[in-house]
A = this chain, B = another copy of it.
Amino acid sequence: MKTYLECIPCFFRQAIEASKLAGASPTAQRRVLNKLAKALPVFSLAGSPPEMGKVIYGIVNQVTKKKDPYARIKTESNQRALRLYPRLKKKVERSHDRLGTAVELAIAGNIIDYGVKNSLNVERELQKILTTENRLMKNNGSAFFQYTRFRRSLDKAKTILYLADNAGEVVFDRILIEEIKRRDPCQRIYYAVKSMPSINDALIEDAKMCGIAQIAEIVTNGSDAPGTVLSLCSPSFWYLFRNADMVISKGQGNFESLSSATRPVFFLFMAKCSVVADHIGGKMGDIVLRYHPGEKVRQ
């Protein structure tokens, strides 16, 4: 997805938020905004928003000299989500369609996000999801919820690349990965996290803390950009991305950066801003399981 002009005010908002979180003084915050203002005219809108995201968070880290301002928030998100784990698990176990419920929960977990201005009440949303039975399934088959296709693809895949999004959310991913493994314990699942801190995106330690190491192989994508900006990823990640039988991509940042990928991708995310909602022809808060066919993979 290209960057829309409407993303630009949001870039400045994110820069303020991240600066504050990194404990920047008002003068340092202003310095961040001025640096961003200077970077803006040379930024091509053909790039995806996460590419600018990398610039923004780079400036914040450079000015504040904090490498991981979201560290505490990430740990807390993990802990909070881990406390929910037994209830999430129970919900899946009681469901008539375990995989479907796990998919719903995995997308619902995407509301744990501090990178995007979020007017949603996380606790209330989760509560709603936990008490509703397969509310998304009624949309199955629509452009926004291509679950049958997802399940069919899963049945055929031997290797799956699962692109993580935020810390905390990882616990919800674990629920889904456990269901995938339950259906076929021989499937090889790679769980890709960022190599270096990027907002509240999951790192290796988050994946481990949330229990992914026992069910999937944790890999890094070689980048610290929010989302998955392929040009910034490592060759080993490219290899996996090209050759995995199935790619499951979590979160809006990954959608923004991979929506023109040349290979098929299943995008699972919640539309958290009006720009993305308009782009997909939906509305804010929409919960999406979207199949992107890609072009034929070039070998």
Contact = CB atoms under 8 A, between A and B. Distances in A.
Interface of A: 5-6, 8-10, 12-13, 16, 26, 29-30, 33-34, 37-38, 40-41, 45
21 contacts: A5-B16, A5-B26, A5-B29, A5-B30, A5-B33, A6-B13, A8-B12, A8-B16, A8-B33, A9-B9, A9-B10, A9-B12, A9-B13, A9-B16, A12-B12, A30-B45, A33-B40, A34-B41, A37-B37, A37-B40, A38-B41
A41 B40 CA distance: 12
Given A5-B16, A6-B16, A8-B33, 16 more contacts: A5-B29, A5-B30, A5-B33, A8-B12, A8-B16, A9-B9, A9-B10, A9-B12, A9-B13, A9-B16, A12-B12, A30-B45, A33-B40, A34-B40, A34-B41, A37-B38
A81 B158 CA distance: 66
A56 to B, nearest CB: 12
A18 to B, nearest CB: 12
Binding site of A, secondary structure by majority: helix, strand, loop or mixed?
A: helix
Nearest to A39: B37
Nearest to A36: B37
A8 B34 CA distance: 10
Contacts of A37: 37-38, 40-41
Nearest to A26: B5
Interface-centre pick from A5, A6, A45 (highest chain B CB count, 10 A)? A5
A13 B5 CA distance: 9
Interface-centre pick from A8, A16, A30 (highest chain B CB count, 10 A)? A8
A238 B9 CA distance: 35
Nearest to A31: B41
Contacts of A38: 37, 41
A282 B36 CA distance: 31
Contacts of A29: 5
Contacts of A45: 30
Nearest to A20: B5
Top 3 A-B pairs, shortest CB-CB distance: A9-B12, A34-B41, A9-B13
Contacts of A33: 5, 8, 40
A22 B219 CA distance: 49
A6 to B, nearest CB: 6
Interface-centre pick from A13, A16, A34, A37 (highest chain B CB count, 10 A)? A37
Contacts of A6: 13, 16
Contacts of A9: 9-10, 12-13, 16
A196 to B, nearest CB: 26
A6 B29 CA distance: 10
Nearest to A14: B9
A16 B4 CA distance: 11
